Structure 1
């Protein structure tokens, strides 16, 4: 009888593949395995996933299209990788384990994000599509939960901090050019940087 289901649980905080890439002398992205540096963590994580997947599902190989249900448990509600990015890390390890033939088999996927400070982990279930089908619904809550609010990524925070908003005169609220500092009239104003920087047409022409 062919295998139609597998479940994998791997402890530890999930990591994203994109955070551990280095570049070789030609500028090509690489993932080191034995550099003796921090970047080796991804390779070790991938091997851990492969080992756990095989140990928990002996003699299991699913060779057809698959529905995947992934539950990720982070330590923190805000400080964690982008959940959409870690799927690549996880399925690379699952493919290496041999319980699936190719991660392209994943044709449908549900990703759920949870929080567990004591036991961070991911739980993955794989269902063969010849036997199972996906059905889900989104329901409105009777009582609203406290929202989890997020800050912009750190690189965007720096950009926002450095971006100078158009200077306005304290007397009449007029806008000045961010380059030459001269007053900008409505018929001579050009907005840049998503509306946060005002330029006069003369300074704009000089920039080309």
Structure 2
């Protein structure tokens, strides 16, 4: 058998991971409204995979390093559904990166597991922190574990926000963003919302905060 190749459109602005954690120039462009639009574009991509494709596709390796940014900072999701073809240890790698849902430990990966990983990406957009960062104090290394207890405390939440935003965001919008994250990263998969529901909530946020 010959080799198989998957081609992507070249995205000049790299990945969301690079924009948030490595490229200071692009990071400065990520206003609060831009972050909401990035979350919406990413949610729409997953909604298409889960609910628009026939047969539906579970991404299985969803993280900010697999979200590409074009010249207009629109998103392109890569590696869709390829994780099982690439490596049998992809689930454990995902957990190591800090994106893995709890059910991965039991060998289960579903659409709801993608939703969990999407919630982690939203946390990255909110905080500017990596999903896993061993350079931070022990209690802050895994982003989800550190952030979840603080998402419904408005004072704690405001301290979690990416410092590069300089407080330039509406507090109500911040609370709604945090609410979506809480829904996505619930431990029980069956309680996480479908991506179509998340898309509608984010659309409503953009309409209210143009």
TM-score normalized with structure 2 length:
0.28
TM-score normalised by structure 1 residue count: 0.28
Q: Which has the higher strand share?
A: 1
Higher share in helix: 2
